[in-house]
Chain A
Amino acid sequence: MMKDFFYMGGYGFYVWGSYAIAAIVLIGNIVLPKFQHKAMLKKLTKKLYRAEQLK
């Protein structure tokens, strides 16, 4: 039963390939902005800190 699930009537590569790429795209579009957010906060804080120091 489980084996049939993975085998997908012979189309396993195509079906699971599609779902895998979907997973990559969906996860990527969440993880990437998360990293960008952290990086942006870090970068802007650094800039602010330096600007404060120069005052």
Chain B
Amino acid sequence: MNQSSLTNVFFALLKRDLLLAFRHRAELFNPLMFFVLVVTLFPLGTGADSKLLQTMAPGIIWVAALLAAMLSLDAIFRSDFEDGSLELLVLNPHPTSILVLAKVLTHWLVTGLPLIIVAPLLAVFLGLDSSLIGLLVLTLLLGTPVLSLIGAVAIALTVGLKRGGILLSLLVLPFYVPVLIFATNAIEMAASGLPVVAQLWILASLLILAITLTPWPTAAALKLSLS
């Protein structure tokens, strides 16, 4: 077997990162707990008017998912940056952009996927109509990988900075806005009985664009942050 083919390296990296993530199982819960807590804050902060909550539910869940994704971005490169394995990754003869995709996939599996699984429960908390929950999950399925992919560019740019936290949000949130708008718009339109095929296609194309266009800037930014 060719030990060093790109596919093998990709999956080896994926396996390694997933293993590392599961060794710190407690940390896996943090973004998820944040997500649940933020969603819970809204009915508490706005008074539990059920009609209002029901209307705002897609937006609340999506904003909370956005924030949870953003706060967990640091984990993609932080530990490797600090112990030097990131440099080894970049020096690897295989294209860094593909290896970066392995790391982003880990991030999504470990933070995005749990959000998607828990979201239906939160939707019920907020009184979202059960016919819309499937659509909510679909938008999250299409959208959360985009959040990880775009977030990777931003965290690659700021991983070398001492206090890059707030700067990260300034960099990443403007790019998250289109995903947020199309996802919540899809659910709102469906709530009024209107077709949502267009919004879903746009979310899908955002995903394809993100997969194809973000790895290169992420790799370039990593090389820059390491210099």
Direct contact of A and B (CB under 8 A): no
Residues of B in contact with A (beta carbons under 8 Å apart): none
